[in-house]
Structure 1
Amino acid sequence: MGTRTTDISGFYVVGINYKKTDAAIRSQFAISNEQYSHLLSLAPAHHLSELFVLSTCNRTEIYGFADNVRQLAGLLCSATTGDTSTFMEIAYSKRGAEAIEHLFLVSAGIDSQILGDYEIVGQIKQAVKFARENRFVGAFLDRLVNCVLQASKSVKNQTELSGGTVSVSFAAIQYIRSTFADLTGKHILLIGVGKIGRNTCRNMVDYLGMRDITLINRTEASAAELAAETGVGYASLDQLSTYVNKADIILVATNAEEPTLMASHLEGQGEKLVIDLSIPFNVEKSAALLPGVTLVNVDELSKIKDETLQRREAEVPKAKAIIVEHITEFMDWYAMRKHVPVLKAVKTKLKELHTSPLYGQLAGETMSATDDADQQIQRVLNGMATRMRQHNQGGCHYIQAINEYIGG
């Protein structure tokens, strides 16, 4: 895979998110599990060896070490339907400390489309886990992600940034509430029971008090399991047309690469509210043109603001202060790690010095026979490490360490 570098100046993130691109554009650069696997298989040919890709409904980002940012973007786009030129025109990129800070902000939900959305943590874990299993996570990324997750946990525990119930799935519930004054007699069809689908189903039961819900999933057993848990109904995929016809509200959370709900399913079926929670879109775009069909996607849902979001915004300064502490801790580790080769060299030299016949003459009587050489060497190295963190004068510290050891 090539030599891994841990020079922070070679660490980049490049990506797109909801701030400058709509869902239609983001869908061109979304990465499925299959595409992620293909992307990693192509990485060696792009001379890349330490990286991971974060792809959600709100963003697609690639983090890693590279000679330049276009190297990472080229790899990402080689596995998507979009091209590198288009991507680079709309993408943002950050390098070194700024790239590290960006990952901390993303993981805490500060950069999420819905402020404080904590689902991003699980998505980061999965993205890094997949890269690690394929041997694309080295010591630097491993330590960085651990620090990032610790910071995110501290933000969640010590602030109200994720307080209340606000997510894309909950925003869908709010939208339904604002559209229907009375849900009596309304039937809901939920297609897809992955993580977002499960959350949406539970929110409908908990916050709308709805039970007239039918779940349809590619794997019927998963739909049956969630139906039993929540007290709603389920049906097989081959009954999709029947339940589309019956439904007043249809939510799609299937996360497929191609549309699951087609315009042909909805044509001539009367008034329907269709909410697409998927990226790429899993409802055929032309369905929005059908008479009686109202099609809403994740970007429109995320415009919903309420008191919960206002309270969360007030917590941002506190969350950022926590993040600064964790970034400082990581950068201290990084600075220390840079000095490891020098410290190892000094340790080797001091051990050689201890066994030299000249050592006894040089040390004189300053070191008693009962002193442990390894302990003294470690004390000298600890002092050297502290000074190296404070002052960038490796050569001077090298000489001082030898003098300290000889002097006892």
Structure 2
Amino acid sequence: MTAYSHGIGRYPSIFAPGSLLTIMQVNQPKNISNFHIVGINYKKTDATTRGAFAINQDQYQQILQDAKQSGLDDLFILSTCNRTEIYGFADNADQFFKLIDQHTIGNISQFQQLAYAKSGEEAVKHLYHVGSGLDSQILGDYEIVGQIKNAAKFSKQHGCVGTFMERLVNSVLQVSKLIKNETALSSGTVSVAFAAVRLLENKVPDITGKKIVLVGVGKIGRNTCKNMMQYLGTKDITLINRTATVAEDFAACNGLRCAPIENLAESIQDADIVLVATNAPHPTIHKAQLTNASPKLIVDLSIPFNVAPDVRELPHIDVVNVDELSKVQDETLERRMQEVPKALCLIEEHMQEFLYWFKMRKHAVVLKAVKDKLTEIHHREILQQKNGANYQFEDLEAVSSRIIQKMINLMAGKVRKEADKSDLYISMINDIFETGVNQE
């Protein structure tokens, strides 16, 4: 639930077309030790704390602007109901803590106390685990894939995703897809939206006769609504959204009702069940709206919470939030747990492919420079020959001979200059050109 919201070689980019060769030629590689992730998640924080550090789209855009002014131009932010994390390149992770401090309402000291920070390959591995649902509050939650994709895409649109990050995100999304298709990690209750349906199924056995109001028709709201219709068989659902056309279009496609946001208080008064999936920075549902209402169940799917805390004081109102919802387990959990080793193997395989690409990419810069040097020699010799008074096609043989000799002279000159490394250089040249000569 979003608060705003390659393997190598064979995986296309999700962001924009372009060949790997082009990318490798124009981008200098970065030091992977400067790749960091800092964040908090559900493991050490409750939903209220996470809500204080949730980042909506406006905040995200401002963070990216401020980051670029500070020289940070390769990062993205993942802010969901379960976590707020910054991934990217920086001299040190403290620079990311500073961005959190400047743009969220939470106390930065509390954030630092509860946060985790990882660098280098550990940070890379963390993103693979997050993207595969292994680090989710509901094991195997597949909604995180879309959230990572959207977060990285938003950052790229604002000029803050470089080659390393783009390639890494592509790899993570591809591995996540493989895990979903080749394991049973994502079977059963694998998202907050579906967990809400399980909750309703258990708490409201006669739900088809109940009036339901869904406040917020974003991705989480739509998924929850579809799941209710498909698995619970209920269609007595009224949709309310701040942008009315969004609710109207979804209602028309699914045979549901909708009501304007101005009728929110009236609509929830009459409802038996209220699901709140909005993205407002402050509560949408208040105690005063429910004091004289009929008994009802309210499920708050929002981060930060969109149901005011004092609503829980009303004895006839039962409120369930995302932390409580994530405890809903189903009969497939044990089977999903058994799939974790398979998922870890797939992650390890593709992470190593990614790291190999990264290491080889550093060599590509040198190889490109060698190619440029050879091209320079070639062009110079061709030009010299063409400037001759009696240029003949057969003279290309002489040109080729001079080019080869110049290459040998370059290598020999380096060997003479670096006498202490001469054996190493000659051995490498011998291996590269596979001469078959035994140096022993």
TM-score, length of structure 1 as denominator length: 0.86
Mean Cα deviation higher: 41-50 or 133-142: 41-50
Counterpart CA distance in 1 for 2:29 and 2:351 is 20
Residue 176 of structure 1 is matched in structure 2 by 200
**3-state secondary structure, aligned to 1:222:** helix
Asked if structure 2 preserves the Cα contact closer than 8 Å seen for 1:205 and 1:230, the reply is no
Residue 132 of structure 1 is matched in structure 2 by 156
Counterpart CA distance in 2 for 1:49 and 1:394 is 42
Residue 6 of structure 2 is matched in structure 1 by none
Residue 86 of structure 1 is matched in structure 2 by 110
Counterpart CA distance in 2 for 1:103 and 1:58 is 14
Asked if structure 1 preserves the Cα contact closer than 8 Å seen for 2:140 and 2:336, the reply is yes
The CA deviation at 1:229 is 2.4
**1:12 partnered with 2:40:** no
**Alignment map for 1:338-349 (pairs within 5 Å):** 338-349=362-373
The CA deviation at 1:405 is 6.5
Asked if structure 1 preserves the Cα contact closer than 8 Å seen for 2:213 and 2:274, the reply is yes
Counterpart CA distance in 1 for 2:66 and 2:88 is 14
Cα 1:271–1:394 change in 2 (3 A) is farther
The CA deviation at 1:165 is 4.5
Out of 325, 330, 350, the residue aligned to residue 354 of structure 2 is: 330
**1:189 partnered with 2:217:** no
Residue 53 of structure 1 is matched in structure 2 by 77
Cα 1:403–1:236 change in 2 (3 A) is closer
Counterpart CA distance in 1 for 2:426 and 2:228 is 66
Per-residue CA deviations over 1:75-126 (Å, capped at 9, x if unaligned) read 1231111132221110011110000000011111111111111111111111
Letter of the 2:257 partner, please give it: G
Residue 103 of structure 1 is matched in structure 2 by 127
**1:150 partnered with 2:178:** no
**Alignment map for 1:5-404 (pairs within 5 Å):** 6-183=30-207, 185-350=209-374, 369=397, 396=424, 400-401=428-429
The CA deviation at 1:146 is 1.3
Mean Cα deviation higher: 203-212 or 188-197: 203-212
Counterpart CA distance in 2 for 1:404 and 1:275 is 65
Counterpart CA distance in 1 for 2:169 and 2:398 is 44
The CA deviation at 1:157 is 1.6
Whose RCO is larger (CA < 8 A, sep 6+)?
A: 2
The CA deviation at 1:238 is 1.2
Residue 360 of structure 1 is matched in structure 2 by none
Q: How many residues end up aligned between the 2 structures? A: 381
Asked if structure 1 preserves the Cα contact closer than 8 Å seen for 2:28 and 2:365, the reply is no
Cα 1:154–1:41 change in 2 (3 A) is same
The CA deviation at 1:4 is 8.2
The CA deviation at 1:5 is 6.7
The CA deviation at 1:154 is 1.3
Mean Cα deviation higher: 220-229 or 251-260: 220-229
Asked if structure 1 preserves the Cα contact closer than 8 Å seen for 2:34 and 2:90, the reply is yes
Identity %: 52
Asked if structure 1 preserves the Cα contact closer than 8 Å seen for 2:208 and 2:236, the reply is no
The CA deviation at 1:207 is 1.5
Asked if structure 2 preserves the Cα contact closer than 8 Å seen for 1:14 and 1:62, the reply is yes
Letter of the 2:351 partner, please give it: I
Per-residue CA deviations over 1:362-395 (Å, capped at 9, x if unaligned) read xxxxxx959989xx9xxx9xxxxxxxxxxxx999
Per-residue CA deviations over 1:238-295 (Å, capped at 9, x if unaligned) read 1111111101111100111111111111112131211100001111111111121111
Cα 1:171–1:188 change in 2 (3 A) is same
Asked if structure 1 preserves the Cα contact closer than 8 Å seen for 2:34 and 2:92, the reply is yes
Query: Is there any run of 5+ residues in structure 2 with no aligned partner, and where?
Result: 1-26, 383-395, 409-420
**3-state secondary structure, aligned to 2:288:** helix
Letter of the 1:66 partner, please give it: A
The CA deviation at 1:340 is 2.8
**3-state secondary structure, aligned to 2:135:** coil
**3-state secondary structure, aligned to 2:159:** coil
Larger Rg: 2
Letter of the 1:82 partner, please give it: G
RMSD over equivalenced CA pairs, Å: 3.1
Per-residue CA deviations over 1:304-325 (Å, capped at 9, x if unaligned) read 1111222211111111111111
Per-residue CA deviations over 1:162-202 (Å, capped at 9, x if unaligned) read 12353211111221222223235321111111101111111
Cα 1:350–1:211 change in 2 (3 A) is closer
Letter of the 1:327 partner, please give it: M
Asked if structure 2 preserves the Cα contact closer than 8 Å seen for 1:350 and 1:402, the reply is no
Asked if structure 2 preserves the Cα contact closer than 8 Å seen for 1:346 and 1:398, the reply is no
Counterpart CA distance in 2 for 1:397 and 1:281 is 64
Counterpart CA distance in 2 for 1:297 and 1:394 is 69
Counterpart CA distance in 2 for 1:14 and 1:401 is 44
Per-residue CA deviations over 1:19-45 (Å, capped at 9, x if unaligned) read 110000000111100000010111134
Counterpart CA distance in 2 for 1:156 and 1:117 is 10
**3-state secondary structure, aligned to 1:140:** helix
Mean Cα deviation higher: 325-334 or 180-189: 180-189
**3-state secondary structure, aligned to 2:100:** helix
Letter of the 1:120 partner, please give it: I
